[in-house]
Amino acid sequence: MASYERINYALRPAKTIERKMLADGFRRLTAFATLTSYRYVGFGSTYFSDFIMFHRTLNITNMLSIEKDVENQDRFDFNLPFKCVKMAYGKSTDVLPTLKWNKRTIAWFDYDGPLTADVLADVAFFATNAASGSVLVISVNANAGDDEHQPRVETSEVDSEEEADSSSPATRASRRLERFKGRVGHAKVPTDVTAKDMRQWLFADVCKRIVANEINETIRARNGVLEDEDRFMYSQLFNFHYADGAKMLTVGGIIYTKGEEPHYREAMFDTLPFVRTNGEAYTIEVPNLTYREIRNLEKQMPCAEGTTLKAPGVPVEDTQKYARVYRYFPTFAETDV
């Protein structure tokens, strides 16, 4: 069963917050060029949530959704939200080489499975071909199989393998590591990664390192004999951890030439509170609040970090979580449309 048949991607609060944060980050790309000149490439599924938001908020009109479920083309075509959204059917590893890459591109490859060799192939292809000022973001399942009692939203083959494994925790961790190496390629896994890293958010950090290594190694090869001003650089912007069920990692950044480095500085990405240019992750935490509690807290926004908020009965940690994401906080309501 396809993931879009199990999950309504439009109704996941942490994902919605992440989507809005990404849109805020993409707005800074005007330092490189107008957003209307950018192309957006993603995996829209049947909901096209990111396409709808990025078209409405950023006015991007050149949009392409890649869909591997080629047997249900009629359903995807029917759900296209705007005429500016085009479809390309097939695996991303097959579709990406058919596109032209002379245009600045924002790509969000939101995979519903784990990090694999195919994911890294997409990452390498983008880093090899993207025009200066382009942004690559990828999302992958960050469950290494350690969370046996955690409900799964995005699933992977790791889950079923773990359920059938009754060995000791240490043995299971070693097997996780070997399976992981088999999925991404043994040479891609840093030599200092051990079985102890196959648990909790440590595994997400491993995945992030591998993605960053793939981008940086590809760019070094791309630069080859290029003149100094034409050499490409990569700067990480995003490193999100969140869990609307399963642990998920979203990581990515911007590729630009040394000659356009002044545009990167002008964008001032690092003034956004959720941007992470180093190894630290930004964890999206969604407090459970009633609509009345949300309205009460909104009246007290914005506020300085550590401000004591008035919210009868609401745990302090929940009010602090809300204060950090209130501008991006989703509100879902039942209505007739």
- Domains held by the chain: number: 2
pLDDT at 258: 98
Domain containing residue 110: CATH number? 3.40.50.150
pLDDT at 3: 52
Is pLDDT at 223 greater than 80 in this prediction?
yes
- The reply to whether 23 and 72 lie within a common domain is yes
Residue 5: which pLDDT band, with cuts at 50, 70 and 90? Answer: very low
Work out the average pLDDT over 5-12. Answer: 50
Contacts of 30-35 with C-beta under 8 Å, sequence gap 24+, read 30/267, 31/263, 31/264, 31/266, 31/267, 32/104, 32/132, 32/133, 32/256, 32/260, 32/263, 32/264, 32/267, 33/104, 33/133, 35/59, 35/60
- Residue 184: count other Cβ atoms within 10 Å of its Cβ: 21
- The reply to whether 279 and 298 lie within a common domain is no
Is 35 contained in some domain?
Answer: yes
Taking CA atoms, 145 is separated from 152, 158, 167, 246, 281, in Å, by: 11, 6, 13, 10, 20
pLDDT at 168: 86
Of 146-155, 240-249, 263-272, 317-326, the least confident:
146-155
pLDDT at 331: 77
Residue 278: which pLDDT band, with cuts at 50, 70 and 90? Answer: confident
pLDDT at 334: 57
- The reply to whether 37 and 98 lie within a common domain is yes
pLDDT at 152: 40
Is 336 contained in some domain?
Answer: no
- The reply to whether 207 and 301 lie within a common domain is no
The domain of 296 spans: 291-328
Distance CA 68, CA 183 (A): 19
Assess whether the previous peptide bond of 302 is cis (omega < 30° from 0). yes
Is 333 contained in some domain?
Answer: no
**Interval 117-159: pLDDT, tens:** 999 999 999 999 999 999 999 999 999 865 433 434 444 555 5
The DSSP string of 111-172 is EEEE--HHHHHHHHHHHHHPPTTEEEEEEEE---S--TTSPPSS--HHHHHHHT--S-HHHH
- The reply to whether 275 and 307 lie within a common domain is no
Work out the average pLDDT over 216-227. Answer: 96
Is pLDDT at 6 greater than 50 in this prediction?
no
Distance CA 129, CA 134 (A): 10
For the chain, give the mean pLDDT: 91
Is 334 contained in some domain?
Answer: no
Work out the average pLDDT over 313-327. Answer: 96
Is 116 contained in some domain?
Answer: yes
- The reply to whether 74 and 38 lie within a common domain is yes
Is 254 contained in some domain?
Answer: yes
Is 296 contained in some domain?
Answer: yes
Percent of the chain with pLDDT over 90: 83
Of 140-154, 236-250, 311-325, the least confident:
140-154
- The reply to whether 97 and 70 lie within a common domain is yes
- The reply to whether 152 and 209 lie within a common domain is yes
**Interval 42-86: pLDDT, tens:** 999 999 999 999 999 999 999 999 999 999 999 999 999 999 999
pLDDT at 195: 96
- The reply to whether 189 and 302 lie within a common domain is no
pLDDT at 2: 56
- The reply to whether 301 and 279 lie within a common domain is no
- The reply to whether 295 and 212 lie within a common domain is no
What is the Cα 275 distance to its own chain's centre?
13
- The reply to whether 188 and 303 lie within a common domain is no
